[in-house]
Amino acid sequence: MSGEDPIDRRRPAWESGPPRAVSPDRPSWSVVRESRLSDSWGQHGKDLRLVRHRRTDDFGTRDRDHESRALSGLPAGAAERTLVKRPAHRREEAPQAPLNGSGPGPAQRLHEGVRMKFWQSISWAETDQLVDLARFAEELGFEGIIGSDHAFYPKEMAPGYPYSDTGYPPQTAESEYPDMWTSCAAMAAVTSRLRLVCGVYVLPLRHPVEVAKQAATLAILSQGRFALGVGTGWMKEEFDLYGVDFASRGRRMDEMVEAMQGLWTGQFYEHHGEFFDWDPIVVSPTPSPPIPLYFGGAAPVALRRTARVGEGWIGVGNTLEDAPLVLGELARLRAEAGRGDEPLDTLVGLYGDVGLDDYRRLEDLGMTGGIHLPFWFAFDGPSSLGQKKRLMEGFAERVLRHF
């Protein structure tokens, strides 16, 4: 029995005063980070609260040292910012365990001995740069490209984003969200080794027959280099526009996953469920091997879903303290589901001052993939292709080439 993926919109106890009304095209916070943050940032963290380092009215004024900082691979304005860890306020927490590996025992570790690889996030990157970025990522030795998905950006947005204090996401109306299918197809066409994954595709907005056909086509055209990363989504405005019930999106996604796996067999398949109903049909082409399914989300129900039916998990911005906890919890849940001996890709973006030794310790705990930050975080907005390439080169020199 699957549950819903909760979004906890309560204000944390340490933050006083009523919520402020904030325009979605002018968030009330800026990303804060330490000087080596470009080594490690993935997507927004579930336990980190992003706080302002300037007044809201100054948000649009960007640092002037972007180009010089990018030359060294450091984020703009890094020296003046501080990473702040705030108390978490989720309903449930994973068991506590230290980073040094003395916490989870061998039975709770994910696939020791698996070599860590690295992925470049292209969330909010300019569409006309994606093909060049894919070529360059393959040239540098990245394992893959990881994108993201939203249908649109609403002018009026309720504060529902679960990874910041304000309830608003870091992207703005000027952030680009190109279509995942055509973007991945274009990047696959100019590369031969680079893997492609969406992290994550808002699956409950769509129809399973349509997604099954699109994913199968892309998997074949990319010669098996595509993995479908999915999540339940957080933006209610998307569900309202599509006419999809927001509250039941978790159950809807579980049913869609089951239906798509049936459609990918290449056999006549019928489905009669809570949300979808059809008589026997065949959808072609048939992907071979089967398309890997990766799941996002750190809520207990999301981790259980990953353990039960996933080939991978995508973590959106963990810390060095909580990443081992999630890895240990996934190992425990996989064992409970009878899948403890099956491989599980764990693609994790990390906040903070993360060095080689940190990545190696996480590798020992079974983390298989490190996500390099979205460029938007390094430059507080759009950036040139040259700036992005220099940032990637810096990360490759400091981290990637040592694995």
Pairing of strands 269-272, 277-281: antiparallel
**Domain locations along the chain:** 37-402
Residue 331: CB partners within 8 Å, gap ≥ 6? 104, 107, 108, 109, 110, 340, 366
Instruction: Please determine, for residue 386, whether its predicted confidence score (pLDDT) is greater than 50.
Output: yes
Task: Dihedral sign for Cα 323, 324, 327, 330, please.
Answer: negative
Which is more confident, 1 or 198? 198
| pLDDT at residue 29, rounded to an integer | 32
Could you tell me which CATH class the domain 37-402 is placed in? alpha beta
SS3 content of the chain, % helix, strand, coil (to 5): 35, 15, 55
* Mean pLDDT on 323-341: 96
Highest-pLDDT range among 4-8, 9-13, 361-365, 385-389: 385-389
* Mean pLDDT on 49-77: 34
Instruction: Please determine, for residue 286, whether its predicted confidence score (pLDDT) is greater than 70.
Output: yes
**Residue (of 94, 15, 109) closest to 319 by Cα position:** 94
How many angstroms from the chain centroid is the CA of residue 384?
23
Instruction: Please determine, for residue 293, whether its predicted confidence score (pLDDT) is greater than 90.
Output: yes
Give the model confidence (pLDDT) of 74-97 as tens digits.
Answer: 444 333 332 333 333 333 333 333
pLDDT band for position 317 (cuts 50, 70, 90): confident
| pLDDT at residue 279, rounded to an integer | 99
Pairing of strands 144-147, 195-198: parallel
Mean pLDDT of the chain: 79
Instruction: Please determine, for residue 191, whether its predicted confidence score (pLDDT) is greater than 50.
Output: yes
pLDDT band for position 215 (cuts 50, 70, 90): very high
Q: What is the DSSP letter of 226?
A: E
pLDDT band for position 62 (cuts 50, 70, 90): very low
**Residue (of 15, 24, 14, 382) closest to 168 by Cα position:** 24
Cα separation, 313 vs 348, in Å, equals 8
Which is more confident, 350 or 120? 120
* Mean pLDDT on 263-276: 98
CB 265 within 8 A of CB 291: no
Which is more confident, 215 or 107? 215
| pLDDT at residue 292, rounded to an integer | 98
**Residue (of 163, 317, 314) closest to 235 by Cα position:** 163
3-state DSSP assignment of residue 193:
coil
Give the model confidence (pLDDT) of 5-25 as tens digits.
Answer: 554 333 332 233 333 333 334
* Mean pLDDT on 159-180: 87
Highest-pLDDT range among 55-64, 79-88, 380-389: 380-389
Cα separation, 328 vs 326, in Å, equals 5
Please state, in angstroms and as integers, the Cα–Cα distance from residue 161 to each residue in 46, 50, 54, 59, 234, following that order: 10, 12, 21, 19, 6
pTM of the model: 0.75
* Mean pLDDT on 295-320: 93
